[in-house]
Amino acid sequence: MNYHFRKAKISDIHEIGVILQQAILRRKKDGSNQWQDGYPNPEIIQKDIEQGEGFVLTEGDIIIGYCAILINDEPAYAEIEGKWLTNDDFVVFHRVAISEKYLGKGLSQIMIQYIEDFARINTVFSLKADTNYDNFAMMKIFEKSGFTYCGEVYFRGSSRRAYEKVLNNEVN
């Protein structure tokens, strides 16, 4: 397939919102508590985009996935119960969601490949992320993508599983 990864635009908010709503319902159906409290919402997505941190995965002109990417900007990661693999600069990604129509095609892993390329282009060689303890699908994606479980971090009052992947410095 012909996938592209680009910065999201304000005009993408509606399509991104639909994808995130699908993911919120999927989390609930799977019995997960993640994203069952009004987060993420259109205001968060708009802020991501305005700050240049929102990204979409597309197939042609169709938006099929979304995530937010930040460099060295996750205060919760300073207080890990456990140990990160590195203490250098890192790229963190949040709010990963794939359109319901495109599930089962390995697109989350493809998106992580794009995030790795983003990190390398910015001369950052560590990816860090977290997920809820009951988001088994994301934990499996982290495992398949070569991440290492590093411990627990706390967000919005709850414990989350923290992961890191150390990258080589070759751009694909």
pTM of the model: 0.93
Residue 16, C-beta contacts closer than 8 angstroms, at least 6 positions apart: 8, 45, 54, 56, 63, 66
CB-facing half-sphere around the CA of 43: CA atoms within 13 A: 2
Q: What is the pLDDT of residue 170?
A: 65
- For the CA atoms of the chain, what is the radius of gyration? 15
Q: Where are the beta strands (DSSP E) in the chain?
A: 3-7, 54-59, 62-71, 81-82, 91-98, 126-131, 148-155, 158-166
How far is residue 136's CA from residue 115's CA, in Å, rounded to a whole number?
Answer: 21
Mean pLDDT by 10 residues, the chain (172 residues): 93 96 91 86 95 97 97 94 96 96 94 96 97 92 97 90 91 58
Structural contact between residues 35 and 19, judged by C-beta atoms closer than 8 angstroms:
no
Instruction: Count CB neighbours of 132 within 10 A.
Output: 19
